[in-house]
Amino acid sequence: MSRMLRRLGEGVSNRALVALGLVFAALLLAPLVSNGYVLSVLIIALYYAYAGQAWNVMMGFCGQLSLGHSLYVGVAAYAAAIFFVKWNVPPVIGMFAAIAVAMAFGAVIGFLAFRFSVSGVYFALLTIAFAEFTRIGFDHFTWAGGSGGFFLKVEDRAADLITLRGPPIMFYYVMLALTALAFLFCRMLTQSRVGYYWFAIREDQEAAQALGINVFRYKMLAVIVSSGMTSLAGVFFAFYYNNLFPEQIFSMARSIELILGPIIGGLGTLFGPILGAFVLTVLADLVTEVLVFTGYDIPGVKQVFYGLCLAVVVIWLPLGIWPPLKRRLGLEGRS
């Protein structure tokens, strides 16, 4: 155990560890000074930080672009909700079904793509296609509510982690725990042999193959790990919002929103997805609030803001915000 911990911190400067501790402490204490509205914004930010981290495993580490991650969020949300509502199985158990379903979808997409050498843009299109026809499938899946939606009973009660029913502050800490665990898990992955295989595939698949890496197996593993991680975001989504509409949860816009954080924060970095999600969510809400306050209530202003952020990053900070910021703050690791 201590060996694993030492390995996690290997090559990280003390400054960076302290900074990380401070960020975590700030997030732990944030609800104490937040009102209901701020708390809801922070929950969304953590949600995107977590989901972005999960997506980053596939794209940032292994170089496989998925534009259909709403698929994994969606099927997992439905799986956990159905288990709970129809069979009274609490999400603490139902989440395993959700993980399994999402991983199965990931495995099928990965197998079809990698077995038949579908790559690059065509792979991305395949992921969109799967998300889209799953959406249409759920639209007509009347047993799970069809296009009319699937609902969980809204109850006002004390926090209960087993059934994931409770006030927003409970959801905040659940999401914070997930984000922190995902961060550590990804750190572990990047330090592992698997992580190195993924980087090799990302950098140059042919070269990776020439080095004797089983490219098919490790690409499959990336998709399955990523979809499995993403599924927990789906379970959270179902129990936090209490309603699921195929139109909404499987929509391509959800997939895109989910990947903006890691792209803006820094693809393939560990802290980038978290930073990106907070910058986007918090700033976008701030901009909207300021505009509303000054009397300009413009619908769609958030989307325009996302677009601007993306444009700025792509043009001026192609590596994302985090790598240059890390250098500026003097948090670069020893090597």
CB of 162 to another protein, least distance (A): 43
Task: Kindly tell me which of 4 and 211 has the beta carbon lying closer to another protein.
Answer: 211
Contact between 200 and another protein by CB under 8 A: the answer reads yes
CB of 199 to another protein, least distance (A): 7
Contact between 206 and another protein by CB under 8 A: the answer reads yes
Q: How far apart, in whole angstroms, are the C-alpha atoms of residue 154 and residue 163?
A: 12
Number of residues that bind another protein (CB under 8 A): 18
Closest residue by Cα to residue 269 from 49, 91, 108? 49
Q: Please identify, among the stretches 53-61, 69-77, 213-221, 291-299, the one whose residues bind another protein according to the rule CB under 8 A.
A: 213-221
Structure tokens at 82: 């159905």
H-type helices in 68-167, by residue range? 70-87, 91-115, 121-139
Task: Kindly tell me which of 83 and 197 has the beta carbon lying closer to another protein.
Answer: 197
* Cα 205 off chain centre by: 25
Which residue among 25, 211, 292, 311 contacts another protein (CB under 8 A)? 211
Which residue among 24, 96, 141, 196 contacts another protein (CB under 8 A)? 196
C-alpha distances in Å from residue 235, one per residue of 14, 64, 78, 307, 328: 36, 24, 8, 28, 37
Contact between 300 and another protein by CB under 8 A: the answer reads no
C-alpha distances in Å from residue 318, one per residue of 222, 264, 323: 23, 9, 10
Q: How many CA atoms lie within 13 A of 210 on its CB side?
A: 5
CB of 265 to another protein, least distance (A): 18
CB of 198 to another protein, least distance (A): 11
Which residue among 4, 5, 177, 207 contacts another protein (CB under 8 A)? 207
CB of 211 to another protein, least distance (A): 6
CB of 213 to another protein, least distance (A): 6
Task: Kindly tell me which of 122 and 296 has the beta carbon lying closer to another protein.
Answer: 122
Contact 154, 81 (CB under 8 A): no
Per DSSP, the residues of 281-303 read HHHHHHHHHHHHHTT---TTHHH
Q: How far apart, in whole angstroms, are the C-alpha atoms of residue 46 and residue 173?
A: 10
Task: Kindly tell me which of 185 and 196 has the beta carbon lying closer to another protein.
Answer: 196
Site string for another protein, 214-233 (x = CB under 8 A): xxx-----------------
C-alpha distances in Å from residue 236, one per residue of 69, 153, 262, 307: 15, 15, 20, 27
CB of 223 to another protein, least distance (A): 18
Interacting residue ranges for another protein, rule: CB under 8 A: 193, 196-197, 199-200, 203-204, 206-207, 209-216, 335
